[in-house]
Amino acid sequence: MSSTSDEDTSECFDLAIVGGGAGGVLAAIHALRLGTSGVRIALIEPASVLARGVAYATTHVEHLLNVPARRMSALDSEPDDFLDFLATLPLEVTREALAVSYAPRLHYGRYLRARLAQAQQASPAMLHWFHDQAVALDHLTNSVQLTLDSGEVVHAHGVVLAVGNSSRPLPARGSAGLPPDAALEAWDFDAIKRVPPDAELCIAGSGLSMVDTVLSLAQNGHRGRIHVVSRHALLPLPHTAHAVVEFDAAALMTMNLRQRVRCLRLAARRAIEGGLPWQAVMENVRPKVRELWCTLSHADQRRFLRHVVRYWDVHRHRIAPQVHAQLRQLQGSGQLQLHRGRLDTVAREGQRIRVSLRMRDRRSQQLDVDRIINATGVEMRAQLMRNPLLAELLVKGFARAGAHGIGLDTTSAGELVDADGRVQPQVMVMGSLRIGSLWESIAVPELRGQAEVAARQLLAAARG
């Protein structure tokens, strides 16, 4: 996609969106749908293809969405929109079956690009895509100035920060000394596909990134042993068919963390005793996650991050049943082995890599493998995201870290808060940068809501 206009882009845009992954494209779609004649929108993204980012960059059919298709619409007002898109594809599946299916993730990126193109065609507003990276932001009298890596400058009345997700570094001493072909990133899907089928592997992390890696290896007919190392050695749990259970999630709000955990465990036990899946309890809780996080005391939020978060993640961020069954089959055969501990050191030993682990019982264990794969997931600390714009904002004091050092500090509406605690209404934040404030902030329902709020608020201010 290129610019839809030959207008001089040195003029001030009404809105600039930094990031062209799923979040940025959702913001652009909503801005175009809201935009009137004369509205000018800038989208700043260096990648050659929009709406991919980390989540939807895969081109491999084995990587599935972790939510049924019926719940993945980009628009709150049109809940069946993604399902409508899938129904136009030559999938030879009934609409009813598509609704409950876990579609390949590659379709979702295509869906967002298709809806962006439709929004451009239907909107009187203009969208200009800068194939560049924003590296600095400065506040002017009536606008915000964004400096791009090329040196070009973009002025806008309002800015949406939708920079997307960054991976955590491999948490092992010596990892920087490994050659690139020995230490791989789980999000480098093509590199994972090139792993020799007989290679013995160590995967750091047992979450959703690990699942993608194992699925690609299995699709390639991998025969080598796969060691998975994580602190708790817990695999993501499966979704089940839709079921309804009576559980008052709102009652959790007045409880402390310990009481909430006990209440959820009791509700899950009662559901199972009644012949219902425990997952039905989590479905009741799902719409309340933001409130649950915000009503925890600061001390209890810290306890959650220290002691509960992994148990929450495997129950909350579930995977397709068929994917879970595949992982269990690999475990049962002995090819996939879980190790409960932490990476300590990694070092090249001849043609192999020696991985030293610190186990939960304080024992040390060594693995000799051919490749190590970093699947430790999303980096939540903005200062460690290796993003030059975020680093610049923090250094200048235009932003500060969010609660517990996670993401950036924002208001409840998503407006950026600077180092002195002042609200910056011209800059709104969405996605992973709001995890510290909201906890639940990277799933599609949250992204589409944040995108619409940001586009509506900033366009209204620009035209006010």
Q: Given this structure, which CATH class describes domain 175-237+319-374?
A: alpha beta
pLDDT of residue 4: 39
> pLDDT digits over 46-95, tens only?
999 999 888 898 999 999 999 999 999 999 999 999 999 999 999 888 99
Taking alpha carbons only, the member of 37, 36, 39 closest to residue 16 is 39
Confidence category of residue 464, pLDDT binned at 50, 70, 90:
confident
- The C-alpha torsion from 146 through 149 and 153 to 154, rounded to 10°, is -50
- Give the N- to C-terminal CA distance of the chain in Å, as an integer: 30
Taking alpha carbons only, the member of 412, 445, 433 closest to residue 286 is 445
User: Distance of CA 280 to CAs 245, 310, 317, Å?
Assistant: 6, 19, 13
pLDDT of residue 46: 96
Distance of CA 192 to the CA centre of its chain: 20
> pLDDT digits over 194-205, tens only?
999 999 999 999
- The overall average pLDDT reported for the chain is 94
Domains 15-63+104-166+380-463 and 175-237+319-374 share a fold: yes
Q: What is the rounded average pLDDT of the residues 410-439?
A: 96
Q: What is the rounded average pLDDT of the residues 395-404?
A: 96
- The residue type found at 438 is L
Q: Which helix (H) or strand (E) holds 15?
A: strand 15-18
For residues 23 and 162, what is the distance between their CA atoms, to the nearest angstrom? 6
Residue 352 has pLDDT above 60, yes or no: yes
> pLDDT digits over 358-398, tens only?
998 889 999 999 999 999 999 999 999 999 999 999 999 99
pLDDT of residue 413: 94
Q: What is the rounded average pLDDT of the residues 90-101?
A: 92
For residues 397 and 402, what is the distance between their CA atoms, to the nearest angstrom? 13
Q: What is the rounded average pLDDT of the residues 201-225?
A: 97
CB atoms within 10 A of CB 19: 28
For residues 170 and 204, what is the distance between their CA atoms, to the nearest angstrom? 8
**Strands 201-204 vs 226-230: parallel, antiparallel or unpaired:** parallel
Q: What is the rounded average pLDDT of the residues 439-462?
A: 95
- CB under 8 Å to 448, separation ≥6 — which residues? 26, 30, 73, 74, 75, 76
For residues 459 and 464, what is the distance between their CA atoms, to the nearest angstrom? 8
User: Distance of CA 266 to CAs 189, 261, 316, 440, Å?
Assistant: 40, 9, 16, 23
What is the architecture, at CATH level 2, of domain 15-63+104-166+380-463?
A: 3-Layer(bba) Sandwich (3.50)
Confidence category of residue 10, pLDDT binned at 50, 70, 90:
low
Q: Which residue's structure tokens are 């084995």?
A: 62
- In this prediction the pTM is 0.93
Q: Is the dihedral of CA 85, 377, 240, 92 positive or negative?
A: positive
Taking alpha carbons only, the member of 150, 116, 121, 156 closest to residue 137 is 156
- CB under 8 Å to 306, separation ≥6 — which residues? none
For residues 323 and 340, what is the distance between their CA atoms, to the nearest angstrom? 22
Confidence category of residue 3, pLDDT binned at 50, 70, 90:
very low
Confidence category of residue 142, pLDDT binned at 50, 70, 90:
confident
Q: Is the dihedral of CA 350, 352, 355, 356 positive or negative?
A: negative
Q: Which residue's structure tokens are 């600095």?
A: 136
Judge whether 7 and 126 are in contact, CB under 8 Å: yes
What are the structural domain ranges in the chain? 15-63+104-166+380-463, 175-237+319-374, 249-316
> pLDDT digits over 269-315, tens only?
999 999 999 999 999 999 999 999 999 999 999 999 999 999 999 99
pLDDT of residue 2: 34
Residue 39 has pLDDT above 90, yes or no: yes
For residues 328 and 331, what is the distance between their CA atoms, to the nearest angstrom? 5
Judge whether 390 and 136 are in contact, CB under 8 Å: no
User: Distance of CA 245 to CAs 179, 267, 271, 432, Å?
Assistant: 52, 9, 7, 31
For 443, which DSSP code?
A: S
> pLDDT digits over 240-281, tens only?
988 989 999 999 999 999 999 999 999 999 999 999 999 999
pLDDT of residue 54: 83
Q: What is the DSSP string of 147-207?
A: EETTS-EEEES-EEE-----BPPP-SBTGGGS-TTTEEETT-HHHHHTS-TT--EEEE--S
